[in-house]
Amino acid sequence: MRRAEFLRLLSAAVLLPSGASAQEKPSREDLTKRFREGMAKLDEIFWVPELANWLDRPGKDLRAHFDGKINPPWWSCANGVEAMVDYMDLTGTKIYDDRLRQIHQGNVLRGSRMPVIAETLKKQGQWKVEDDKRLERRVKTLDPGKVHGSEFRNEYLDDSAWWGIAWLKFHERTKDPRYLRTAVAIHRHMAANWRKEGGVSWGEEADKRDPNAITNSLFVVLSARLYRVTKEKPFLGWAEKTLAWEKEVKLYDGTGIVDRPGHQGDYWTYNQGAYLGALEALYSVTGKAGHLEEAAAIAETVMAKSGVVREDGVLYEKLSTRRLGRRNVQGDLHEVFCDSRPDHAAAEPARGDGGTDRAGIGSKCRRDSEKQDEGRTLSTGMARTAPGGDPQFQHAIVGVDRDCGGATCPGLSRGIHELVRN
């Protein structure tokens, strides 16, 4: 069985009924069912119990993970955590609480699950004699005092921010101080990477020290929400200071939010949503209407002039579709969206390198054996959204592809986004 055929089973959870128009609104019950079934299928394909996390390829290849060849899609996993929190808050259920506790416990000290992974590999006959020493060395290096590898922090500050926002939200749900501790640790990690010229660096490696929009907008959101939870004014100070820097360097250029200072026209969809979310987050803790008025004005130009929002409200991302690499969770979800369309019988799966396409999935389809030069983004399985009309997370992408005959190909994010709007 081709994996496309296997993954096509997911279409029942992520696609609207055949022939349904974009204007038809599924019922709340249908959306609830769709989200739960979609998450269950993603778990079936990508969840690895020994790791207490999702891997970035199907097959649950623990050997490849032990060898460092396959890892969790780190920031997408954070998006998945928050999506599950949002779902429970919206539906009043507790269906994912235990799973989220498991993810935190198993990954708060990254690598701590290696002994569990080793036991499974031994049972599977995939353990080598030299692996014992490798395991021993790795266990010795585990240190909760290290910044990288503990409290969901790594060298990419935007990745860290996604985790901070997710665990802070879970703290607000559970009141468990462990998750607040993680969010605060991530905030300190980001603040320590504030550049003397202003702005939080995107990454800690020498060639990634420049600040960008997503990292700093997320830092505003995390800072403002930490202030909301703790009432500690330094958090509010960071939020206001960072937003002031974003304005100073003109990340908003009158049309949309560019990726970093000095750039022109690179209006990535998630940068638009995160910047609006930063303004909303500050409004929510200060009550200053100017933040909302500014957000509304920016949203108007983004929708009217930037080209990232179609007339039907679908977000559009013009991405390179010629990059070929390894298959991953995002590419496989794309295969579902394209192959399961009745008018798209011949599709070529999307390819990805696991880190290049940070705003969504650059679609790569065939129809009638003709290659397409452009692709619409398709939502990752780890859907992004949030309750209460929070604009930061209402950038969940409805998957649309040129090859779908102009019709929408809604993914998991469409389901939960509709649930938010309902």
Report the domain count for the chain. Answer: 2
CB–CB of 76/88 below 8 Å?
Answer: no
Nearest-5° angle of CA 162, CA 167, CA 170? 130
Mean pLDDT, range 85-114, rounded to an integer: 96
Mean pLDDT, range 236-258, rounded to an integer: 98
Closest CA to 222 of 186, 196, 251, 179: 186
Asked whether residue 110 is assigned to any structural domain, the reply reads: no
Asked whether residue 285 is assigned to any structural domain, the reply reads: yes
Q: What is the pLDDT of residue 316?
A: 79
Same domain as 212, residue 304: yes
Asked whether residue 257 is assigned to any structural domain, the reply reads: yes
Asked whether residue 138 is assigned to any structural domain, the reply reads: no
Same domain as 291, residue 337: no
Mean pLDDT, range 405-416, rounded to an integer: 32
Same domain as 407, residue 351: yes
Per-residue model confidence as pLDDT tens digits over 303-313: 999 998 888 77
Mean pLDDT, range 401-411, rounded to an integer: 30
Nearest-5° angle of CA 226, CA 231, CA 232? 80
- Taking the C-alpha atoms of residue 376 and residue 357, their distance in angstroms, rounded to an integer, is 12
Going by the DSSP 8-state scheme, the letter that residue 27 receives in this structure is P
Same domain as 226, residue 292: yes
Going by the DSSP 8-state scheme, the letter that residue 47 receives in this structure is E
The residue type found at 404 is C
CA 377 vs. chain centroid, Å, equals 13
Same domain as 377, residue 323: yes
Q: What is the pLDDT of residue 77?
A: 93
Instruction: Give the phi and the psi of residue 173 in degrees, each rounded to 5.
Output: -75, -40
What range does the domain containing 239 cover?
193-309
Last residue of a domain, one of 268, 286, 309: 309
Last residue of a domain, one of 309, 333, 359: 309
Structure confidence at residue 377 as a pLDDT band (50, 70, 90): very low
CB–CB of 395/270 below 8 Å?
Answer: yes
Res 146 pLDDT > 80: yes
Q: What is the pLDDT of residue 302?
A: 93
Taking each helix axis as running N to C, give the angle between helix 177-191 and helix 233-248, from 0 to 180 degrees, rounded to the nearest 10. 40
Same domain as 355, residue 258: no
Asked whether residue 369 is assigned to any structural domain, the reply reads: yes
Asked whether residue 287 is assigned to any structural domain, the reply reads: yes
Q: What is the pLDDT of residue 204?
A: 96
Same domain as 294, residue 317: no
Last residue of a domain, one of 263, 286, 309: 309
The residue type found at 62 is L
Same domain as 398, residue 335: yes
Per-residue model confidence as pLDDT tens digits over 174-221: 999 999 999 999 999 999 999 999 999 999 999 999 999 999 999 999
Asked whether residue 55 is assigned to any structural domain, the reply reads: no
Structure confidence at residue 23 as a pLDDT band (50, 70, 90): low
The residue type found at 236 is L
Same domain as 375, residue 292: no
Structure confidence at residue 52 as a pLDDT band (50, 70, 90): very high
Same domain as 297, residue 316: no
Q: What is the pLDDT of residue 350?
A: 31
Mean pLDDT, range 150-161, rounded to an integer: 97
Same domain as 282, residue 368: no
Asked whether residue 112 is assigned to any structural domain, the reply reads: no
Same domain as 304, residue 367: no
The model's pTM is 0.75
